[in-house]
Structures are given as structure tokens and as C-alpha cells.
Structure 1
Amino acid sequence: MLNENVFAYRSFNPELETVKAFAGFGVDWVCIYPSNTLNSLGMPYSVYEPTWLGLDHYDFEPLDRQIQELRAANPRVQIICMIDLNSPPWFERRCGADDTFYRLGKIASLPQWREATRNYLQAFLRHTEANYADSIRAYMLSCGGTCEWQERSFGDESRSRRAAFRTWAQDQGMPDPVDIPSASIREHISHDLLRDPQVDAAALAYWRFCHWQIGDTILYFAHAAREIIARRAELGLFYGYTLEYGPHRLVSEGHLDYERVFASPDIDFSVAPGSYRHRQMGGTSPFLVPVGTLKQRGKAFIQELDMRTHTSKRPAPWYKAAFDCWHNEVETVAGLQREFSFCLTEDVSFWWFDMWGGFYETASARAALAQMKQIWNTAQTQKHASAAQIALIVDPDSALYLDQNDRRIDAFNSGLAHALHHTGAPHRAFSWGDLPDLDLAPFRLVIFPYLFVMDAARRRLLEEKVLRDNRTVLWLYRPGVVCDGTYDEAGMQRLTGVSVDQPGITTCAMGAWTSVVSVDPKLTPCELRNVARQAGVHIYSDTDEPLYASHRYVALHTATGGDRRIALPRTCAAVTELFSGRVVGRNVNVIDDTLATPGTALYDLD
């Protein structure tokens, strides 16, 4: 993935006939998951038997069978192999340990678990490297909730976690905390949605440790993997879901150490599903991860496309999560085209996740996928350039101050991401740690959804990189109020020119830049579009519909269909709608087209 984007397939089941069908239109990359544990439904992830049977006791025959059957279905197969690091049920019983699937933080620092899991990981890799190095191109380290490094114990303590926290705190120059803060202290909020840096210092330190602990565990196993595979294969994981997590998740699930994890030379790529909200027609599936952060570090990203089609099989009759979004063949094709167009314009890899089978079994779905693969092949021969003039910059340190028990915080991440995708202009997400090396020249609007923490060094960086060049900065809620280690609402006005009690959306001229503040973090696509237009951002579409664009392509998705107009940033010699093959204009800077109901149009800008 570092040297090429991939168009891939994945399923929990073998689905060998579908593997053959995908191979028929050139899809050779396949992700597999030889698992030892049960999923969140209490069912085995894999139909193949477990390979980790006891302490230093492994049987890799089921793994051999899985790979050999896959290679028989497609001899050209290029495998992305997930490795299950979750503790098998027998480990919990024999070792008296917690379950990593739901309580990863309670066991992540336990030396016995780390050693046993490291031994399994390295035995697994020695076996696959000796036998299947010609087929396996990448590995993924999988652990925690739904095998995505999600920590779901809400900070509950264990002896090993307490010991690790005490060591970590003293390594940071803090006094020995002796114990883990109680739940009431961990959840205490002092200022509406925010913690106080002094009153809530113990909670902030502990939550910071919890994210470090998951990051440290990831990097521990990544280093162990590199001892076996060196640089022959790429190494990735599911991690960094900061753009999605909100209520009951943002502060406690362990994904806020992503800057350090993504910077590690041992990690090559990250994977995440598209957002599970608003997948219906007219909706969209934003990235959960700040993809700009990965690209800044020379790392790759894979979008997991697990949108349920109208033919998707359920794992059980009673299971309904994320089903019933696409109700017929027309919606399925329009939805597949939407997800493909997003990945194409954003220049990322993806896999079609045929979870329990049946997702892509109709002739129309497979014909659409085959056509997309041909479009994809052509696109990979072309130079890609982002068209984003909006930069979204999140701050993992400030995120720790938010009250994850208040549903309003949804507006800072997932709510904002979905609104941005309906503004009619593309954007790219980064993290605060990217700023020193980030080229902001293309961006007319920079959005800080939660930049509460401020000090002299941070202010200096903002002035050097952001607050200049006639750029507009949009701040949400109470930026800058955690100022030099104290909670000071006057810090917001010093930073933005706007006071905490100013209602609505306020614009303030700041000389070389413009400050726009919305104390209410919940913004509509129309409000965001107005701010972007005033900042000088090119607006492609004025409809509240998903719009994706790069320098070469622009795509629009609609639930209602009808006549649409897309304004282009330049005159194009020819504009071709790729799914229909229609030339819709020559020497034009505007696209006037009629879209189906529902429909997705993808335009090539020549």
C-alpha cells in the first residue's frame, strides 16, 4: 500500500466463489482473518479452527488450509493477513486474566499476557514467512474490541494497569499517584463540557496514560513482528478513530495516541471502516481517521467498505445493526459507486467487505464493481492532486478535556465530518502534531473543532503557520480556554477576538487573518458553506449532498436525483461522466447534468 493503492476484497467467510468472481475482473488483493476468538455477537470470527491452543501450543494446519484454499481460488492472490492478538477463551480461564476484547486496558500491561501473545505472534509469523511469503504482502495486528484496538473498560483498574500507571506517571516527572482515580473522579467535569486542568488533573493524567498504554501495546507487538518480517511485508492495524468517536468513546477507548503510533517506523498503514452514520441514500461514509496525518508521515490508509447491500446475509436472523440502508438493486449500485468515488478522489486504498457473504452477488453489483476496477486501473496511471482548500485539524490533547458522557460532543467529530461532506467542497483532516511540517498554502479555511489547550509555544506555532496569509480560521466552542495550565475564559478572546458569551457565528477581522467562532459546535452544511465561501474556498455545489473532488475527478451523490449544477475551479477541455461514458461538456467550467434517483455521478476533468 505504500507504493500503490489497492482495490481489495475481504470476508469473514471463505467465500471462494466470490473470490474467483472478483479475480475475474482483476481483484487479486484479499484480506483474511485467521481468528482465535469470538466476535461481539458471541460467534467465531472464522469458520476455520483456532491456531492458538495453549501457552506455546499452536496448530497452524487450519491456517494452512485457509491460505491454500484461497490460493486455489486465485493463484495470483496478494494477501493482507490479520493476526488475532486477542486472548483466547482458554487464556482467561487458565491465567485468571481479563478478556482483551472488552477490557484490553486491564490486561495490556500484564507481562504474562504480553509474553504469551508475543510468542504466538512470532510463531505465527515464522510459519507464514517460511511458507507463504510469496503470497502475503502485508500483516495487520488485531486486538481489543472488534479487533480494532478499542478499549472498552472505561478506565477500570487492574493490578497490572495500576502498576503501569504508577510507573508511567513517575517517568513523566509526576508524583507517584499510588492508585488509579475512581470512576467519579475520572468522569468529573468542571466547566459545562470541559475538565479543569487543575481540579481534574488526576483524571486528565490517567486518561492520557490510558491512551499511551494502548499505543505502547501496539508498538510493543509491532516491534516484535518486525523482528521476524523485517521490511519484507508491510504492517498495519485498525486505529486512530478520532474523527468518529464521540459520546461514551472519545476519551476512554484508547485511540488518541495515534500521532505516536502513525509516526512509528514499524507501522506502514492504518485501516478503518467508513462512518456507520447516515449510510442511506443521500448520506455518506466519512473517514474515521485523519488521513492527512497518515499522508504527512508517508503512511497509507485503507477504507473498509462494509456497507450492507440489499442482498447482504445476516450472521443471525435477529442481527440488524447497519442493515436496511440500501433497499434494492438501484440503491446498491448507487451506494457502491458513491463509496468508490470517495476513495478515488481521496487517493486511498479500500476493500469491499463481504462480511457474512452475499453483499455483491447480483449481476448488476458485480458489473458495477468490474467497471469501477477498470476506472481504478486507469486512475492509478495518473498523477493525483488534492483539491481540498479546507483543512480540519484535530487536537488529541484537547480531546481529553471533553465530557464524553454528554451527547453534545458528537458535534465536534462525527457530526462535523458529516456536515463537511455536504458543504459542496472537499476537505482534508490533519492532527495538531502535523502543523510544524504541514504546507498550508492550498488551504483558505482551517477548522479547529476543539483546540482548548493553549500556551506560548502553541500560540507561536499558530502565528507562524496558520494565522496569516489572509486565511480564515473557524473555531468551535471555547478555543484557548485551557491557557498555560489554568482554565481561563478570557484566553478565548485573546486567541480569537471573540468572547465565550458571544452567541451565534461571529466573524472578527484580525489583520492578516479572519477569525470565525461558533460557540455552538453543531453547524449545518449551509453554515459551513457560507463560512467557506467567505474564506475564498471554491464551492462546487450548493446542494446539501455528498460532493467529492480532486484535481482530476469530481463526484456528486444524490437521493432525490434531478438537474444539478457543479461549478468547476477551471475550464476543462472535456468532462466525461465515467459510469455512463457520457461526455457532458467541452471547454466548460460548469457541469449541468441530470442525475438518477438515487444516483452517483463521477466526472473525469480533462
Structure 2
Amino acid sequence: MRSSKFLSSLLLTLLCAFSAHSQTPVAEVREHLGGPILFIDGRPHSAFSTMTYRPQLSDYQELADIGIDLFCFSTSSDHPFYPFAADAWIGPEEYDYSQLDERARQVLEASPETWLLPRVNVAAPGWWLDLHPDEVCVYSDGSNLELSRDYVQDQRAPSMASGLWRDSVKENLGRMIDHIEAQDYGKRVIGYHIASGITEEWMYWGFQSNQLADYSKPGITAFRDWLREKYRTDTVLQDVWGEPSATFATAEVPNATWRNRMDHGIFLNPIQSMRVVDYNLFLSDMVADCISEFARAVKEKTNGTKVVGAFYGYLLEIAWHHHAIPPSGHLAIDKLLRDPSLDFFSSPSSYGARPPGTGFSIFMSLTESFRRHGKLWMDENDYRGFLAKDAKPQHGYVETLDETLALHWRELGNVLTHGAGMWWFNMWGGWYSDPRLLEQMETMVELGKENLELDKDSTAEVAVVVDPLSPAYLGAMETLHSIGLLQYKETWAKFGAPFDLLTLHDYCEGLGNRYKMVV
């Protein structure tokens, strides 16, 4: 054990020495005083940062002036599904990184010594989908268009099961990283936030428009391979599915009627509907495999010197949009927790409980399990304060400065007490352009730094345990279970004692031994 720690320390020292020589920062997440912390060139960092969809020099300058020195911005290594960045892959063997360069340099114009953490959106440009029509995600009605909502007009998406698409993403990520590291701003980039799926948050295509995926050729082939890996023989598959004619070679994705059925109340009967349970689990595995594969590609390309993260694990929140959990792709939490290529995970704070006074701050996932596995949780603080005039009511907009100040204090308390990082999401710009708000945020930045030297270990004596796989046993459009989780959160948040959120797998593996009460 001592030898292993010595070698790790020696490796970090050598990497930092290399960094100082080459001006390439070495970033990692590692244990510090009982919890995972971001380190940049061997120094702990609070991971307090900012993100925006509308880059403006004036916003960057005022946020840099209050001490924020980690900035995130949208870009793409190929094509963003949402219009928050320009296409980089503009044709076969044609690439355009001019917007990426402009956005990175704009941040550094405001603050030359700041660090950069680009959010890299990956999907597939229209010309690529035209060349590879079989790789396009197909929905249960036979269509291949993600229906219009929010920022998306009817649009095609690549099947996440497509090996051809995955290979193109990895190649384009590598090409983009080569470009970045050849630029003057490359020495300020500490990592990459890989984003895809619905709302960039790795929910499977069609999820928020209530479209069931994925009936594409790659989707069917991958499902059959997944079944073969799980059951090994056709005989076992036939027994479990209760279908004498089932084979790995002929198994199909369950149709919408199968996936929407409920056998006993809200539940599927695994004796009758195991094919649906299997498909729900498969869909999440496909999402998790994409995240892992792309993260590993970035780690290999950067020789492990950059942090990599993703949105994932919204088990406690998905029902906020009145969508069901089973087809979301977010059930494979335990799988991603154990992936060494991933350093951080993120979600917004819960949307379901934001009002001042009656609301509360809570994350969307089982964050203690992430922490126990050495993953930094990054809170996307997208609270719509009094300057967010373009906010939608369902996102919790408040109308006064005092309410805005109070909400940010409440959110900070949740972040600090759970050892999380955070970015203030200046979504459309100008959300923080008020002297009192900026003064408060400056104090918060300092508190984040002070918190680095405090014990990060949890003091909770209560554990709330959730099985991420259990929603696979629900009908695809069943929301009662999901809404129940949403409502339970208020009870947990207001019962007056600290609590930890764990996966059932982690609890059964012994991570729950310290608790006096388990829910």
C-alpha cells in the first residue's frame, strides 16, 4: 500500500514537473481530506466556476473580477444537437475550429490566467447522417425525427449503438484536442465535459418528446449482442422470456405496445415482460458505454493529464418533466461510478423545489455514491434570479434581488456540505450583473477556497438508498414511481438531519455500515 501511494505521488510530481516545462496543465480529481477534490498542477481547486451559452466579454470580466478562475463554454468536435455552438465537422475531411478559438480567447482576454473547461457537444452533422442513413436513430412509429421542442426543430440523431458513429466521435475528439494543444490557449485547458443526448444531458434521443427509441439497425444488432452477453444460450433466453421461439439471431426491440404495458399496477411482471425489462437496461447501458468510450478516448489522447466528466444519473429528478425513468438511459449509475476514465459528474440542482421559503436545495442523483467512488460532483447552479428575464416559469424564476441572494446562499450551503464543485450558469448572459449579487458571489468564491482545507467526510447518520435498476421494471411511460421519488425528496430535505444518498449496490457492498437509520 505504501509503495502504491509512493508511486502515485512520484508520478504526480513528474507530471507536474513536465507541466511546468511544457506549460501544459495537469488536472485530476483525487482524495483530499475525506473527499474528491479537483487538483490543477498539484494544487487543490474549489471547482467553483461559470458557464454560459451566450459568451460576452463584459460578463467574463465581471466574473473574473470577483475571483472566478475556471470558465466553461460550449463547443463541439463535430455537430452539436442543440444550437449552442457551431459545427466543427463541416464536411468529409473538413473542419472549422474558428468559433472554438474565438470563445477560448475571449475568456482569456478577460482573464489571461484563468483555466478553461470546454463543454464538448457530440452528435452527427446532417451530411454524415445522409451518408449513413442506417446509423440514424429510429423511433417506435418508424420515424427518424426527434420532434420539435425547446431549441430543437425536427432533427435526426445518430443511434448511440452505432459503432460507426462512436468511432467518428472518438476520431473527432482527438482531432479537436490536437488543435487545442497547438494553440496559445491550450496551456489553460484543464479538461473536457463531454455532452450529448437530450438537453446535452445524455438522456436517450426522443426521451422528452415521449418517443420510444431505438429501432435502428445498429440498435437492434446491439440489443441482440447485449442479450447474448447476458444469457449466453438461446435456451436460457427462451426460459427467461417465456418464449420458446426466441433466439439471439431473431430477437427484436419490443414494440410500443409491449413497452407501455403494465402488468401489475405500475409494474411489469418479469415472467411475462422480461424482454421489456431487458430493453430498458440495455438502453441505459448504451448511454453509459458511449460516455465511457468517449471519456477513455480523451484520457488516452491527453495521457491522463485532463479531467473528463459528463451529465448523468438524474434518477431523482427525471419526473419533474413528467417523463418516466425507464427509457431515459440514466439507470447505469453503478456502471459509470466504477469507470476510472471519468473524474466528475454533474446535474442542475433540483427544479422541483426552487421557490424561496418553501423550497430546498438537493442534487438530482445519488451523490454520496459518486463521492465514495472518488468522483467529484459538479452542481450546475442555473437558478433563475431576478435578472433572468427570459426564464421559463417552470424553472423557478424569482423576481427580486433579495430572493435571488437567498436562493444562492441556500444552494451554496448544499454544495459546501456535500463537498461538491459548482458552476454558476450564466445561461443567456447578464444574469449576475448586479453589484450586490456580484459582491455576494465574491464572498462565496472565498468560502469555496476556505472549504478546501475542511474535512470532506460525511457526518450523516441517515442513508437514503435507491436502486437505479428498479425503474427498468416499470412501463415505459409510467410516471407514478418517478413522481414519488420527486416528492420523497422534500421529506428527506426537511426532516432536520443530514442524510446521504446511496445506490443499493453500494449499500450492499458495505458502504452503508456507518449509518444508524436507512430509508
| TM-score, scaled relative to structure 2 | 0.79
Deviation at 1:56, TM superposition (A): 3.1
1:217 equivalent in structure 2? 290
The equivalences for 1:197-208 within 5 A come to 197-208=270-281
Work out whether residues 124 and 157 of structure 2, in 8 Å CA contact, stay in contact via their aligned partners in 1: no
Q: Percent same amino acid among aligned pairs?
A: 25
2:342 to 259, 262, 267: 267
Aligned residue among 95, 99, 102 for 1:65:
102
Question: Which stretch of structure 1 is more off in the superposition, 58-67 or 101-110?
Answer: 101-110
Q: Does 1:82 align with 2:119?
A: yes
5 Å-filtered alignment, 1:377-416, equals: 377-416=449-488
Cα deviation, 1:418-449, whole Å, max 9, x if unaligned, reads: 221121122111112212544434422111xx
Q: Using the alignment, how far apart are the partners of 1:262 and 1:333 within structure 2?
A: 34
Q: Is the 8 A contact 2:324 2:478 kept in 1?
A: no
In 1: Cα distance, 2:369 partner to 2:156 partner:
25
Query: Which segment is superposed worse, 268-277 or 410-419?
Result: 410-419
AA aligned to 1:138 is G
Pairwise CA RMSD: 2.3
The answer to whether structure 1 residue 98 and structure 2 residue 136 are counterparts is yes
Q: Structure 2 matches for 1:323-402, cutoff 5 A?
A: 323=395, 325-402=397-474
Q: What amino acid is aligned across from residue 481 of structure 2 in structure 1?
A: I
Q: C-alpha deviations, 1:28-61, integer Å up to 9, x for none?
A: 0111111465666xxx213xx4322123321122
> 1:144 corresponds to which residue?
197
Out of 203, 213, 217, which is 1:155 matched to? 213
Q: Report if the CA contact (8 A) 1:390-1:426 is conserved.
A: yes
Q: Quick check: 1:9–1:30 contact (8 Å CA) kept in 2?
A: yes
1:598 equivalent in structure 2: none
Distance in 2 between residues matched to 1:390 and 1:95, nearest whole Å = 51
Aligned to 2:68: 27
Q: Secondary structure at the match of 2:469?
A: helix
Deviations 1:57-99 (A, max 9, x none): 2112221121112111111111111111112333334433536
Query: CA offsets per residue over residues 297-329 of structure 1, 9 Å max, x none?
Result: 111110000011111142xxxx62545631111
Q: Which amino acid aligns with 1:148?
A: E
Distance 1:105 1:253 in 2: 15
Separation in structure 2 between the aligned mates of residue 110 and residue 420 of structure 1, nearest angstrom: 40
Question: Corresponding residue for 2:301?
Answer: 228
- Paired residues, what number? 438
TM-score (ref. length: structure 1): 0.68
- What CA distance in whole angstroms lies between the structure 1 residues aligned with 2:373 and 2:257? 38
Cα deviation digits, residues 100-148 of structure 1 (max 9, x gap): 9959996112233222222211111111233344211111111111111
2:118 match: secondary structure = strand
Q: SS where residue 200 of structure 1 aligns?
A: helix
SS of structure 1 residue aligned to 2:117 = strand
Check conservation: 2:80, 2:87, Cα contact below 8 A: no
- Residue equivalent to 2:355: 280
For residues 447-493 of structure 1, what are the alpha-carbon distances to aligned partners after superposition, in whole Å with 9 as ceiling and x for unaligned?
1xxxxxxxxxxxxxxxxxxxxxxxxxxxxxxxxxxxxxxxxxxxxxx
Q: C-alpha offsets along residues 386-440 of structure 1, whole Å, 9 cap, x if unaligned? A: 2322111111222211235334213442221222112112211111221254443
Preserved CA contact (<8 Å) 1:326 1:332 = yes
Residues 299, 305 of structure 2: 8 Å contact kept: no
More helix by share: 2
Contact 2:80 2:123 (C-alpha < 8 Å) held by counterparts: no
Partners of 2:96 and 2:81 in 1: how far apart?
21
Tell me, which stretches of 5 or more residues in structure 2 are unaligned? Answer: 1-28, 31-36, 39-45, 138-143, 147-154, 207-211, 238-246
What letter corresponds to residue 92 of structure 1 in structure 2? L
- What is the alpha-carbon distance in structure 1 between the residues aligned to residue 299 and residue 423 of structure 2? 25
1:422 maps to 494
Partner residue, 2:224: 166
Whole-angstrom distance in 2 between the partners of 1:237 and 1:226? 14
Give the strand-richer structure, 1 or 2. 1
Q: Deviations over 1:561-603 (max 9, x none)?
A: xxxxxxxxxxxxxxxxxxxxxxxxxxxxxxxxxxxxxxxxxxx
Q: Which has the larger radius of gyration?
A: 1
Contact persistence 1:104–1:144 (CA under 8 A): no
Contact 1:256–1:396 at 8 Å: present in 2 too? yes
Aligned to 1:446: 518
Whether 2:189 is the aligned partner of 1:123: answer no
Q: Does structure 2 conserve the Cα–Cα contact (< 8 Å) formed by 1:236 and 1:270?
A: yes
